[in-house]
Amino acid sequence: MKHIELIELIYKHRDLIDDAFKGEKIKHLPSELIDDVAVFQKVAKQYELSDSYTQFANAMLKRVDANYTFGDYNEEIKLLMKRKSDFLISGEKEILQRIKELVRILYKKIEQRDILINARVNDIVNDNELSIELIIKDARDVNERIEELIEAHAENIKVLGKELRGLDEELDEMLVDIGLDMLPFSENIHLYIKRLSDFILRTEKRKLQNKKISSLFNKISKEADYELKALLLSNHQIYMHTVKERKTGLVKHVPSKMELKKTSFLNLLSCTLKIKKTERRAIVDRPYQVSKTSELKAIRLELIQQDALRDKPQDLYSYILGHAELDKFKEDKLDKSYAFKVYLTVVQNNRENIVLMDEKYNNNNIKVAKWI
């Protein structure tokens, strides 16, 4: 088979190979993918992608192999324990020196591992190229690998912190320093697990969300999105008021009938604003007046004086009140008031002919004036 034919073959079965790459089980496989080229291999009656193809794909996609294991350093620990028993038997200084060297190397490896795990976790969390299925699979794999480390890491700390103590003063000092420096690594392992677990949860939620939003779109396009409509309308008070929003305009709404009633509008307004009561002073402005016919009434003072001169009345006020000239005021009941005005005028004008009787008042409580 030529190279171009290989590419064509892979392209022909791209969906199948991609499914297998994402970890799905393949039931029916065309024989050309097993016999002609070893893209797949049979493992315990199941077909899975061959290691060589997986390695090729990972290298091309710049992915770290999901099967990459972070070192647990069991071998180093075993060697340290062996060196310890050798030292206890022989007491050789050279063995002690080797132990110190080995502890230093182990610490450096653990530090290096921490950097590597951190980088791997960052790669996964920040990778935006891989498909959502693949990234979840990667995250799960790495999470498992880190979980496996917890126990091994505890064992490392136990050996470095306890088992190797008491052999030599200088070594003890070194172990204390290393023990302190390793504290953040122990914390980090748990942080990485938490970060990845959160990421997996979040990404799976997003995957479900995408499925839902896609299905919702299908319903919207068929105008069958009853659930969306029911949800929005039954809870509209918690959803954004989206009517007629514009860059320049304010939120608008069509007022209800109740709001349009004058009294309820005033109530709403007085709830919102504090209104001060002001005195209302209407300006009286009457530039034109409708003309009315008015009757002018006058008293002929001369006539009454002449009559009084002739009759010489004993009580001037009663005489004036009974005079025919005052009759025109009777209908308005103004006769007494006009009679008094005439009485005063006549008395004033005819002082020499009138005598005012001291302490003598008539029925109307008016001093009696006598004409002489």
For residues 307 and 320, what is the distance between their CA atoms, to the nearest angstrom?
10
- The crossing angle, in degrees rounded to 10, of helices 169-221 and 226-234 is 110
Minimum CB–partner distance for residue 256 and other proteins (Å): 7
For residues 287 and 297, what is the distance between their CA atoms, to the nearest angstrom?
28
Q: Are 175 and 160 in contact (CB under 8 A)?
A: yes
- Of 82 and 206, nearer to other proteins (C-beta) is 206
**Does 229 engage in binding with other proteins (CB under 8 A)?**
yes
- Of 272 and 294, nearer to other proteins (C-beta) is 272
Helix (H) or strand (E) holding 339: helix 335-349
**Does 244 engage in binding with other proteins (CB under 8 A)?**
yes
Q: Are 209 and 132 in contact (CB under 8 A)?
A: no
**Does 131 engage in binding with other proteins (CB under 8 A)?**
yes
- Of 57 and 130, nearer to other proteins (C-beta) is 130
Stretch of 176-184, 211-219, 297-305, 333-341 contacting other proteins, by CB under 8 A = 211-219
Among 36, 227, 311, 327, binds other proteins (CB under 8 A): 227
Residues 49-78, interacting with other proteins (CB under 8 A): none
Q: Are 195 and 121 in contact (CB under 8 A)?
A: yes
Tokens 């001169």 correspond to what residue? Answer: 309
**Does 306 engage in binding with other proteins (CB under 8 A)?**
no
Q: Which letter does DSSP use for residue 61 in this model?
A: T
**Does 239 engage in binding with other proteins (CB under 8 A)?**
yes
> What is the three-class DSSP state of 40?
strand
Stretch of 36-44, 102-110, 216-224, 301-309 contacting other proteins, by CB under 8 A = 216-224
**Does 261 engage in binding with other proteins (CB under 8 A)?**
no
**Does 12 engage in binding with other proteins (CB under 8 A)?**
no
Among 85, 90, 209, 267, binds other proteins (CB under 8 A): 209
Stretch of 91-99, 230-238, 274-282, 318-326 contacting other proteins, by CB under 8 A = 230-238
| Tokens at 304, concatenated | 């009454």
Q: How many residues bind other proteins (CB under 8 A)?
A: 47
In degrees and rounded to multiples of 5, residue 41 shows phi and psi of -140, 155
Among 105, 115, 231, 357, binds other proteins (CB under 8 A): 231
- Of 43 and 238, nearer to other proteins (C-beta) is 238
Tokens 């005598």 correspond to what residue? Answer: 355
Buried b (16+ CB within 10 A) or exposed e, 234-253: eeeeeeeeeeeeeeeeeeee
> What is the three-class DSSP state of 355?
strand
Binding site for other proteins (CB under 8 A): 128, 131-132, 135, 203, 206-217, 219-221, 225, 227-229, 231-233, 236-247, 249-251, 253-254, 256, 271-272
